Structure 1
Amino acid sequence: MNYSPLKICFSICITLLILLGITYLSSSNTLPNGKSQDGFAVLGTTIKYPTSESFWNTESTSKEKIKAVDSIVNNIEVLVEPEEDIEKLVIEEAPIVEEKKAFVPKIPNLSKIDTSKIERITYPKNKDEFISQLKAHLTASKSRIIHYGDSQIEGDRMSSYIRNKLQNLYGGNGPGFTPIAQVYENISAVVTTSEHWTRHAAFDPSKKRFAHKKYGAYTTLSRFTPYYDIVADSINSDTLQLVKASFTVKPSTKTYGRMRNYTTIGFHYGNAQLPVNLKVFNSGSLIKETELNTDGNYHEIEINLPNTPAILTFELESKMSPDIYGITLDGNEGISLDNVAMRGSAGTIFAGLNSENFAQMYKTLDPKVLIFQYGGNSVPYVKDSLEVEQYTRYLKNHINWVRRKTNNASVIFIGPTDMTTTENGQMKTYPLLPYLNHTLREMCNDNNIAYWSTFNAMGGENSMQHWVDQKLAGSDYTHFSLTGTRIISELFFLSLYMDLIHDE
């Protein structure tokens, strides 16, 4: 058979026209998980095939909300003091400077932005009472805030921005909590460990949980020897070798000035079964030596210094390590804010912890405000609206479990970001994410919890693509970049700040 180039070209064109014509016969079908799938339904099975709309990409997304966010984002820069710019701090070596002058609050200049476009916090029906109590908690002589969240706050991201703003507004110093054995860099404190140290997290699925479930208020612990139960495991302590371990702590040069100053150091431990000797050195000089309490309960050793230590060294010696929950680095007054990041967690691990141990630690820490930031890790896995509602109920039970351990702390929930998935070759918001956002808000407001929607603040449905295009979010279409983190943190803080000053 004779095939000329013209005939081949003609055949290709005819074939393409037929394939294009079939797109007008294809339809979009909704799957049980809310996603749409283009194609033909044959005997209950969908054969994938693009529709004419998806082929020509004629589906449009409203950009009005995103443009409104842009109008704020473009002016966020004017609200950030030069010395507060974290992007500069990460490359500058800044000396430790003690703050001696009287505290003067830094008040944002709201005249420089259109505040009507800022996503506001939604409150329970008793909004005025809630805000009044929150203000009282934040303005107390000492106010600890614990910020629990998933990987969006890992490495002190978001928490450090919020902490800095609140400390500039109400006073306070230090980065708060930091673990000993770390799996990611913490920008707000530098911790270096000797060998032997291991990290154990209640939310880590790769490791079996300890039977005692005593992971403390920060849900992680560090050890320098393997864990054994002396009684249950029939361990003869005489057969164990004496182990020495140490770690050092020094201020970070990659964070805000107030966080580089701290004079109140807390060493938090528990579940000590055998004698442990602890020595603490400030720049090589011994400032504390003590034996840890071996009653198995939670305890804190507090160290108060006149000035920020250039480098603290903790030396421990024992045949068996206690569970060390971490250290807190705070000022003498004002705001302290602890960052508790749980990679991969959906926030439903709290009620599985040892209640007595958790309550003991909370009695000492006495948090005035709790911030929970979860939901993103559940988005890819919920299959329908019933699973969204089920997850929300589980989350409510865990938040209330924690809240019952507090002295009537105020609770704020920060909702999940926009997240995208591939649908018919396009990046689109997970179909159940808007419903999750709505359901979380309702659950929170019905349970005396304030709710702030990160999803709406970003611009709503399909806004993640815009944030990625503007380099405000990463190529994983989930996590913010450094600049994006600052922007979203500023948007949350401004929403909170406008409510706090409303009645002033």
Structure 2
Amino acid sequence: MKKKKKNKPTDKEPQERAPKDYLLRTWLLFLVVALGLGALYFLPEKVDRWELTKVDLLSDLRYQAPDTTNNAKGAEKLSEHARKDNARVRRREQIYEQIKAEAVASSSSNTTQPQEHTKVVSSEDNTIIDMTPEHDGLRHFFAQLRRRSSLGRPVRIAVLGDSFIEGDIFSGSLRSMLQARYGGSGVGWMPLSSETAGFRRTIRHEFKGWKEYKQLHKKGDYPLTGYYFTGQVGDWVRYTVAKGDRPFEIATIYYRASQPVSLSVSTNDGEARTIELPATEREGLEAYRLAEGHISTLKFSLVSGASGFTCYGVSLDASSGIAVDNFSTRGNSGLPLASVNDALNASFCAAHPYDLIILQYGLNIISPKQLDYSHYTMKMGNAIRHLKATTGRAEYLILGVSDRGKKSEGKVVTMPAAVKLEEAQIHLASELGLTFWSTRAAVVRLGGIGKLAERGWAAKDYTHLAHRGGAELASQFLEAFLLEEKYYDAIR
């Protein structure tokens, strides 16, 4: 049998192709993806109302400053440099250090009882730092507090800030604690309409109509409230005291009007009565008492005179004790205070005088890439000077920026930018000779913004507090406040 011969390949037959080399394409794809992800780092933190999560491929390689409260030490050193060196001031410093040491010792020996709120142990860092030469930055306020029963009005505190305190967070808890100790009732200042009415717990606020003007968005003449309202006939507003709270005693409206204005007013769901607000002078505003007594509900509506009527708000207070007014404006940096109308604000503070003004700003300024805030605090200093010129004898306290966190290696850590902004605010308080309290240090003592968010005491944006977190922060502030009271009682 003949063997079959193998066919030899000819040039015309197709030969087996060599495999393609995809290595270059792979590397090019990798490079494009890496560049795309790297570009995401430069996206803004916020687009309109949408918060964007930062994409940082090198986050594990970046140095993260540890959470610390050491800025308080720097503030104390600055306050020491601000002091006059004389026998009276040295004696005051000795008294203050002794009171502080006694408070820390007393708190440390009294921490066995469990409480609903987290027990706050007095800390040497939990103090209000006084940057004034005589260490008397709150002397007038505490003098007013001692004579509160004879003032003929409540001792008033205004808390001006941004979304950190909106919905009466922090200020509402502080008000409750202070009124429980010093007397008073009512939630203080109220706008006619509000975007936070739905989640504010300290009062039920209902309204219909009213056009709101905000200093942050529209030019105009504003007092420190930062807003005003106009309306049409039929617009109304109703305030109802929160369940379990004491009734307020006096309801006062603050307004301007080119002609008399008629309002229909009812209290405690009783029969409405018509009152007439007189026309006002052009430069200032006027206050008119709408009702007094034991008031749980107040409702009023606009009957006539809408043209030329501007309302700034209503105060719901007691005749004595203490009042805490919340002035929160979402997105506010504090700089609009520089454009408060002088004559209007002077007339407002004459009709509604303040003894202490607390400034809480800064969260809207923080940027992860910015560590120098000297330009901001320079402009903020000008704004505070402008405001102080029209607020009478009110004393000022700066609440430092709160703890603001970001994720790193699966953990929430303090943004270095928050620490740097706080440092700048401390220097601002020193420059202006004001008092300062570290909000950030207080939040860190509670575990930090990340831990508070885990407990539901803060939002997952690692910036804003929930109502429980605000209550815990107010408790820490009250501790520092009471230490100041002991000091001022000792040196009076």
**1:384 Cα offset (Å):** 4.1
* Aligned partner of 1:488 among 459, 473, 476: 473
Deviation at 1:188, TM superposition (A): 2.2
* Counterpart in the other structure of 1:471: 456
| Pair 1:371-2:358 in alignment | yes
Equivalent position of 1:456 in the other structure: 441
Describe the superposition over 1:36-70 as per-residue Cα deviations: whole angstroms up to 9, x where unpaired.
xxxxxxxxxxxx8649xx27x998957999xx9xx
Residue 164 of structure 1 corresponds to: 176
- Listed as ranges, the gaps of 5+ residues in structure 1 are 2-10, 20-30, 33-47, 86-109, 226-242
Query: C-alpha separation between the residues in 1 aligned to 2:290 and 2:277?
Result: 15
The CA distance in 2 between the partners of 1:269 and 1:59, in whole Å, is 51
Percent of paired sites with the same residue: 21
Conserved 8 A contact 1:122-1:451: yes
> 1:143-158, aligned counterparts within 5 Å?
143-158=155-170
Q: Aligned in 2, Cα 1:202/1:409: closer, same or farther, shift over 3 Å?
A: same
Q: Are the equivalent residues in 2 in contact too, given 1:216–1:361 (CA < 8 A)?
A: yes
Compared CA separation, residues 437 and 483, structure 1 to 2 (3 A): same
* Amino acid across the alignment from 1:187: R
Q: Is the 8 A contact 2:172 2:202 kept in 1?
A: yes
TM-score by length of 2: 0.71
Which has the higher Rg, Structure 1 or Structure 2?
2
Is 1:201 matched with 2:214? Answer: yes
The answer on whether the counterparts of 2:402 and 2:443 sit within 8 Å (CA) in structure 1 is yes
CA contact (8 A) 2:155 2:322 kept: yes
Query: Does 2:231 align with 1:244?
Result: no
Report the counterpart of residue 484 of structure 2 in structure 1. 499
Which 5+ residue runs of structure 2 have no aligned equivalent? 1-15, 17-22, 31-40, 43-55, 71-103
Q: How does 1:319-398 map to 2 (within 5 A)?
A: 319-320=306-307, 322-380=309-367, 383-385=370-372, 388-398=373-383
Q: In structure 2, what is the Cα distance between the partners aligned to 1:362 and 1:151?
A: 24
CA RMSD of aligned residues (A): 3.7
The amino acid that maps onto 1:152 is F
* Alignment-derived partner of residue 52 in structure 2: none
Corresponding residue for residue 187 of structure 1: 201
The residue type equivalent to 2:196 in the other structure is: Y
TM-superposition CA deviations, 1:433-482 (whole Å, max 9, x none):
21211121121133221111111222289932232233322111101122
Which residue identity does 2:431 align to in structure 1?
D
- Using the TM superposition, give the Cα deviation of residue 320 of structure 1 relative to its aligned residue in structure 2, in angstroms: 1.7
Whole-Å separation in 1 of the counterparts to 2:446 and 2:420: 11
Q: Deviations over 1:210-265 (max 9, x none)?
A: xxx2223311112224xxxxxxxxxxxxxxxxx33222222122xx62xx421111
Q: 1:131 to 1:295 in 2, by over 3 A?
A: closer
On the 8 A contact 1:217/1:362 being kept in 2, the answer is no
CA–CA distance in structure 2, aligned partners of residues 76 and 417 of structure 1:
29
Pairing 1:411–2:396 present: yes
| Mapped contact 2:120–2:476 kept (Cα < 8 A) | no
Greater Cα shift, 409-418 or 375-384: 375-384
Contact 1:418 1:461 in 2 (8 A): no
Q: CA deviation at 1:305?
A: 2.1
**How far apart in 2 are the matches of 1:426 and 1:170?**
42
Q: 1:447 maps to what in 2?
A: 432
Evaluate the alpha carbon distance shift between residue 164 and residue 365 of structure 1 in structure 2; reply closer, same or farther with a 3 A threshold: same
Summarize the Cα distance change of 1:114–1:303 in structure 2 as closer, same or farther, 3 Å threshold: same
Instruction: Look up the match of 1:138.
Output: 145
Contact 1:178 1:189 in 2 (8 A): no
**1:346 Cα shift?**
0.7
- Counterpart CA distance in 1 for 2:272 and 2:133 is 52
Cα deviation, residue 304, structure 1: 4.5
SS in 1 for 2:130: coil
- Are the aligned partners of 1:415 and 1:440 in contact in 2 as well (CA < 8 Å)? yes
Distance 1:473 1:244 in 2: 39
SS for the counterpart of 1:383 is coil
